[in-house]
Amino acid sequence: MSVVTSGRYTFPNYNLVFFIFLQLGLHSVEGVWPLPQSITSSPERYPLNPQAFYFTYGSQSAAQEGCSVLDEAFKRYFSLIFPDYSSGYGFLRFSVDKPFTVQVSVGRNDCDSYPDEDSSEQYTLSVSAGQAYLKAETVWGALRGLETFSQLVYQEDFGSYYVNKTEIEDFPRFQFRGILLDTSRHYLPVQAILKTLDAMAFSKFNVFHWHIVDDPSFPYQSRTFPDLSAKGAFHPMTHIYTQLDVRRVISYARMRGIRVLPEFDSPGHTQSWGKGQSDLLTPCYSGSTPSGTFGPVNPILPSTYKFMATLFKEVSSVFPDSYIHLGGDEVNFSCWKSNPDVRAFMLKMGFGADFTKLEAYYMENIVNLTAALNRTSIVWQDVFDYHERIPKDTVLHIWKGVPASYEAELRAITKAGYRVLLAAPWYINHISYGQDWRNYYTVQPLNFSGTEEQKKLVIGGEVCMWGEYVDATNLTPRLWPRASAAAERLWSDEKQTSDVDKAFPRLKDFRCELLRYFSFSDNAHGIPITHHRTLFYEVCLTYTDASVSLRLQAGYPGRASLCRTLQTRVPRCLIITDHVTFLSI
Amino acid sequence: MSVVTSGRYTFPNYNLVFFIFLQLGLHSVEGVWPLPQSITSSPERYPLNPQAFYFTYGSQSAAQEGCSVLDEAFKRYFSLIFPDYSSGYGFLRFSVDKPFTVQVSVGRNDCDSYPDEDSSEQYTLSVSAGQAYLKAETVWGALRGLETFSQLVYQEDFGSYYVNKTEIEDFPRFQFRGILLDTSRHYLPVQAILKTLDAMAFSKFNVFHWHIVDDPSFPYQSRTFPDLSAKGAFHPMTHIYTQLDVRRVISYARMRGIRVLPEFDSPGHTQSWGKGQSDLLTPCYSGSTPSGTFGPVNPILPSTYKFMATLFKEVSSVFPDSYIHLGGDEVNFSCWKSNPDVRAFMLKMGFGADFTKLEAYYMENIVNLTAALNRTSIVWQDVFDYHERIPKDTVLHIWKGVPASYEAELRAITKAGYRVLLAAPWYINHISYGQDWRNYYTVQPLNFSGTEEQKKLVIGGEVCMWGEYVDATNLTPRLWPRASAAAERLWSDEKQTSDVDKAFPRLKDFRCELLRYFSFSDNAHGIPITHHRTLFYEVCLTYTDASVSLRLQAGYPGRASLCRTLQTRVPRCLIITDHVTFLSI
């Protein structure tokens, strides 16, 4: 390649400029993440003009204008589809005058409901000249289809938007696709939770498992027991979730088709509860005298169950989801063993020296409390491992990778007829070097020996972000796009997504979309949009002479226009090329 | 504590409110990081009113108004000292009318120069009623003193600012306190570099070691060899540093008293160079034919040295610092060995089969090239380990922790009379769980057996952030506050800072300051300032009745005022309490 150097400015030849065009023009029309069950697309493509682009309700749709979930989604997706236009970069003249309409039809008017365990998320999407038809049974399915449509749109050739002729039939492989955030070990500001909900919707996650309290802090501000947060939160005013905060999270999640599953883990992991609720925790003994420290919830006192009944009654009134997570993991027996009253209770109940029976007794009572509130319980696998008598509709949550494999646990739990949720292979708070998303991607949740009936009991999986070393400063880069690997495993057909290397370029494209969102939403990653505009301006000045011929070919009127279009391109994808992703040594 | 519950609102008693006051009022006047060499402070404190707060030049100061470094620093530190006032939260009525003046005097007018290896950073700071005197030999020392002063100011009691009576004498223990950023393995936007420079100034780092190119990419846009970035960068237009970018970084660094040390590492780590400069790299052979791959820079061609002379001539004209880093690490000999021309050259030169001699030959030539440009070379320790003949003023840079300890290397290099820079214990890109800052903090750079003369040859240390897994999305949370641990080791007296547990609360306070900066600068961490304002507003509404008596005591006119002051407090420190830091399981 010839380069002429003249003073401070450099004039490369046309090859370089054309190379850039090629990069801009490159777009995979199958770049939807997670991969739809069935997608066919053709090279035929249609220009989209943000000034003549409309979302409408189909005339036969059960939901019509006024349906808050879809009305808001239309606004949201308009901004996501046309970021340049919506963010003030929309100074381009779009020459396309033909309107394009996305017509959305749903079979049920569930606009005012909450998504639940039985909600259909199925949709079909048909994109043709001038219009797209999106059909779904529920508004939640329509949300999934809108997300897919937004990922089909791309920008090319100086900022024009396009979508290709496409037919999609899609539905999730698993009903439960969750992300756990732990707001006890570090407090997460509500804004960080909302941002996570946005990103979850991009990957079609549909459950936010809110591990809201634990040993280190109790940030949930209870209406009935305000001392729990007043004394048990890291800070009684700033590091809490008020009722308003919780409502805001639930509402924000609903608008994105995401359920909010609260976890109030007991009898272990409750040190922070004890600060605001006396006599709740077991007094530990050193020999024959209380040591002054406390252990798990005290399972022998009637007051414990009275407290729990009241608390869970409140919880079930605050959180609309039909599931409540009751925890039940990692109960340390040493304090119970040290306490003479507990030992006496064990004798009386005939538990001998088997404290798993005491734990079983406790959990059985708690599960029954929530069953009485018409709620389905989820508990960690420990509860199953101890063979408690628990209602058959309880969901077991697998978190242990060792010593037993999670495959063996899947087999055992489903054989016993319980529904099960898999988290063990997706502990995303774990850190390592390199592309560990591949490990998350290659999980085969149904790869255990069992009948078809057993496999149907696997309701889904969950990505867990435990909070020991995670707060608002590092949550986002640790969570995304790694969690998206699990999202595709839980949504898409396993056979079509068995090749991790084939997934890689698609995930890179998807990361680009995520970064674009995070950059626009609050410039969270320091991606210097304005700086890049400056950079491009300088580049334009430098390359003027070389691009004259090119501009003439493309019918552009002058340098200023070329520069503007180049600038406009930057925020969309160019700032986030493949190279900043996943590099290994 | 009694709590009255009434419907949806909760009214805690006064204890809770007073508890919060206690937290607000808690301030360590010795909370300067890194710790000054000598600091005495008294409980006597002076209120500061942003509307009557001034920076001025002392009448005897060699620098006066018009000194860009200090003029800009005065503006910058005003905003840092009074964030509420500067960020639009300044709707408080400050009742303090007495002015407070910080009078700055420097011995030399070095306003238009660059900080260099000999720049004094010593300063004295004396804070008394109505005024502070800051004296330094150079403007760079004055910058350090302004940073210290800004850290002495704190907010209390509904937003008032205070500074305590204080006397400080301060100077750095080591002259060279650097941070390496690697912009080749992942491109870092200029904005991310500038943000890092800001944070460096807060910790009194004074050298930005710009590892600007390496194997993966060549983002430096050379005036003389534009093909190097056009073909060797990840992207020829977006992922480069133009001459303007470089000037911007150097200027931004100068304003903060930070040197910019460029590294152009060779002969290894140069794969990206080969894309834009043919015949620069050694053709590797497979048997008797070229394999099509390339190895390190070809050390046997005169054209290589001609190219390097031209490149380094440009580099020395672009980067004003008297040091240039030449790399020289990790040269893989296998390609050289495979090449028959290289082998013939070895024979001719009498190097036998010892390829370290060939590397020595190459590095000697490169070091001599830069010496001819009147620049001091820094090279990685490999160059010393191979016993090359290198000029005595070359600085050796220790990066290897194993197999030999860095202590042994410190001893050997200083015994040979070379100056040395320590990086090995501060490879901050390494990840682990828990408080690894303790490891960075407890390094003892002079803890090797050697004479006093030898110890003087240790010019400082450097925190290295290699870029394999770091880009703009995770740079900041990975770098801060961990790097600050090394900053104190390199600035402060070792005896006064030998207790890592005593350092912990100070580092936590300092992290709070860092977060405040990052939150304000671009909300990079999603700390929801506006949300917290909402939260406080709600809290205020909720707590109204309980706070009536309190407001009367404090002389505040009403609820609205209380709410405003509480809101005003939030951005400063309350949102970033100790609890979000360093938590372990």
Asked whether residue A148 falls in the same domain as residue A288, the answer is no
Report the distance separating Cα B145 and Cα B523, nearest Å: 27
Residue in chain B lying closest to A584 (CA): B468
CB within 8 Å of A539: residues ≥ 6 apart = A566, B237, B242
Q: Which of A298, A316, A217 is nearest to A262 (CA)?
A: A316
Q: How far is A234 from chain B (nearest CA, A)?
A: 6
Asked whether residue A419 falls in the same domain as residue A437, the answer is yes
Asked if the structure places residue B214 within a domain, the reply is yes
User: Given a cut of 80, is residue B465 above it in pLDDT?
Assistant: yes
Report the distance separating Cα B41 and Cα B35, nearest Å: 13
| Contact pairs from chain A to chain B, CB under 8 Å | 200
Structure tokens at A8: 């401070």
User: Given a cut of 50, is residue B540 above it in pLDDT?
Assistant: no
Domain that holds residue B346: 176-525
Q: The dihedral of CA A220, A225, A229, A232: what is its sign?
A: negative
Asked whether residue B281 falls in the same domain as residue B396, the answer is yes
Asked if the structure places residue B564 within a domain, the reply is no
Contacts of A238 in chain B (CB under 8 A): 532, 535-536, 570, 574-575, 577
Burial (Cβ within 10 Å: 0-12, 13-18, ≥19) of residue B118: exposed
Contacts of B563 in chain A (CB under 8 A): none
User: Given a cut of 70, is residue B536 above it in pLDDT?
Assistant: no
Asked if the structure places residue B573 within a domain, the reply is no
What does the pLDDT look like over B352-361, one tens digit per residue? 999 999 999 9
B46 — contact with chain A (CB < 8 Å)? Answer: no
Asked whether residue A396 falls in the same domain as residue A276, the answer is yes
Asked if the structure places residue B348 within a domain, the reply is yes
Asked whether residue B455 falls in the same domain as residue B372, the answer is yes
Report the predicted TM-score, pTM, of the whole model to 2 decimal places.
0.85
B570 — contact with chain A (CB < 8 Å)? Answer: yes
Report the distance separating Cα A209 and Cα B125, nearest Å: 53
Q: Which of B89, B138, B217 is nearest to B516 (CA)?
A: B89
What's residue B403's pLDDT?
62
CB contact under 8 A, A19 and B236: yes
Which member of A65, A72, A330, A538 is catalytic? A330
What does the pLDDT look like over B110-152, one tens digit per residue? 999 999 999 999 999 999 999 999 999 999 999 999 999 999 9
Asked if the structure places residue A86 within a domain, the reply is yes
- The answer to whether residue B72 is catalytic is no
Q: Which of B181, B202, B226 is nearest to B73 (CA)?
A: B202
User: Given a cut of 90, is residue B473 above it in pLDDT?
Assistant: no
Domain boundary among A482, A502, A525: A525
Report the distance separating Cα A519 and Cα A480, nearest Å: 13
Which member of B44, B65, B72, B330 is catalytic? B330
ipTM: 0.81
What's residue A347's pLDDT?
97
Domain boundary among A525, A545, A566: A525
B147-151 LR contacts (CB < 8 Å, sep 24+): B147/B77, B147/B201, B147/B202, B147/B204, B148/B32, B148/B36, B148/B123, B149/B77, B149/B81, B149/B102, B149/B125, B150/B77, B150/B80, B150/B81, B151/B31, B151/B32, B151/B33, B151/B510, B151/B513
Please report the residues numbered 504 through 523 in chain A whose beta carbons come closer than 8 angstroms to any beta carbon of chain B.
515, 522-523
Query: Mutate which of B227, B278, B579 to test chain A, going by most A C-beta atoms within 10 A?
Result: B579
- Residue B474 amino acid letter: N
Asked if the structure places residue A495 within a domain, the reply is yes
Contacts of A19 in chain B (CB under 8 A): 236
What does the pLDDT average to over B494-504?
95
Asked if the structure places residue A298 within a domain, the reply is yes
Q: Which of B112, B197, B93, B190 is nearest to B480 (CA)?
A: B197
Print burial letters for A401-440: b (CB count within 10 Å at least 16), e (below 16). eeeeebbebbbbbbeeebbbbbbbbbbbbeeeeebebebb
Domain boundary among A124, A153, A170: A170
B6 — contact with chain A (CB < 8 Å)? Answer: no
User: Given a cut of 50, is residue B178 above it in pLDDT?
Assistant: yes
Contact A35, A506 (CB under 8 A): yes
**B106 vs A559, more confident:** B106
Q: Which of B6-20, B74-88, B445-459 is predicted with the least confidence, judged by mean pLDDT?
A: B6-20
Contacts of B471 in chain A (CB under 8 A): 580
A476 — contact with chain B (CB < 8 Å)? Answer: yes
Asked whether residue A303 falls in the same domain as residue A158, the answer is no
User: Given a cut of 90, is residue B37 above it in pLDDT?
Assistant: yes
Please report the residues numbered 170 through 209 in chain B whose beta carbons come closer than 8 angstroms to any beta carbon of chain A.
185-187, 189-192, 195
CATH number at residue A148: 3.30.379.10
Please report the residues numbered 93 through 152 in chain A whose beta carbons come closer than 8 angstroms to any beta carbon of chain B.
none
CB contact under 8 A, B524 and A527: no
Asked whether residue A469 falls in the same domain as residue A495, the answer is yes
Number of structural domains in chain B: 2
Contacts of A468 in chain B (CB under 8 A): 433, 583-585
Per the listing, tokens 């290099």 go with B413
Please report the residues numbered 341 through 370 in chain B whose beta carbons come closer than 8 angstroms to any beta carbon of chain A.
none
Of A16, A195, A238, the CB nearest to B236: A16
Residue in chain B lying closest to A522 (CA): B523
CATH number at residue A512: 3.20.20.80
B537 — contact with chain A (CB < 8 Å)? Answer: no
Structure tokens at B288: 């008797």
Range picked from A352-366, B395-409, B464-478 for highest mean pLDDT: A352-366
Q: Which of A234, A226, A221 is nearest to A185 (CA)?
A: A234
What's residue A366's pLDDT?
96
Please report the residues numbered 423 through 442 in chain A whose beta carbons come closer than 8 angstroms to any beta carbon of chain B.
431, 433-434
Asked whether residue A72 falls in the same domain as residue A193, the answer is no
Structure tokens at A101: 């309409």
Asked if the structure places residue B6 within a domain, the reply is no
Report the distance separating Cα B559 and Cα A378, nearest Å: 44
Beta strands B207-211 and B259-266 are parallel
Contacts of A243 in chain B (CB under 8 A): 8
Report the distance separating Cα A319 and Cα A246, nearest Å: 8
What's residue B427's pLDDT?
96
**A575 vs B102, more confident:** B102
Q: How far is A19 from chain B (nearest CA, A)?
A: 10
What's residue A566's pLDDT?
34
Beta strands A53-57 and A38-48 are unpaired
Residue in chain B lying closest to A567 (CA): B238
CB contact under 8 A, B585 and A468: yes
What's residue B113's pLDDT?
97
How many helices (H) and strands (E) chain A has is answered by 21, 19
CB within 8 Å of B319: residues ≥ 6 apart = B246, B250, B260, B261, B262
Confidence of residue B30 (pLDDT cuts 50, 70, 90): low
Residue in chain B lying closest to A194 (CA): B526
The SS3 of residue B152 is helix
Asked whether residue A61 falls in the same domain as residue A81, the answer is yes
Contact A298, A304 (CB under 8 A): yes
In tens digits, chain A (585 residues) has pLDDT values of 233 333 333 333 333 333 333 333 344 445 899 999 999 999 999 999 999 999 999 999 999 999 999 999 999 999 999 876 755 444 444 555 689 999 999 999 999 999 999 999 999 999 999 999 999 999 999 999 999 999 999 877 567 889 999 999 999 999 999 999 999 999 998 989 999 999 999 999 999 999 999 999 999 999 999 999 999 998 888 889 999 999 999 999 999 999 999 999 999 999 999 999 999 999 999 999 999 999 999 999 999 999 999 999 999 999 999 999 999 999 999 999 999 999 999 999 999 999 999 999 999 999 999 999 999 999 999 999 987 678 899 999 999 986 679 999 999 999 999 999 999 999 999 988 888 899 999 999 999 999 999 999 999 999 999 998 888 888 888 898 999 999 999 999 999 999 999 999 899 888 877 877 776 444 333 333 322 322 233 233 323 222 322 322 333 333 333 333 333 333 333 322 222 333 222
Query: SS in 3 state form for A124-168?
Result: EEEEECCEEEEEECCHHHHHHHHHHHHHHCEEECCCEEEEEEEEE
Of A16, A189, A528, the CB nearest to B531: A189
User: Given a cut of 50, is residue B494 above it in pLDDT?
Assistant: yes
Asked whether residue A429 falls in the same domain as residue A395, the answer is yes
Asked whether residue A206 falls in the same domain as residue A338, the answer is yes
- Residue A225 amino acid letter: F
Asked whether residue A348 falls in the same domain as residue A366, the answer is yes
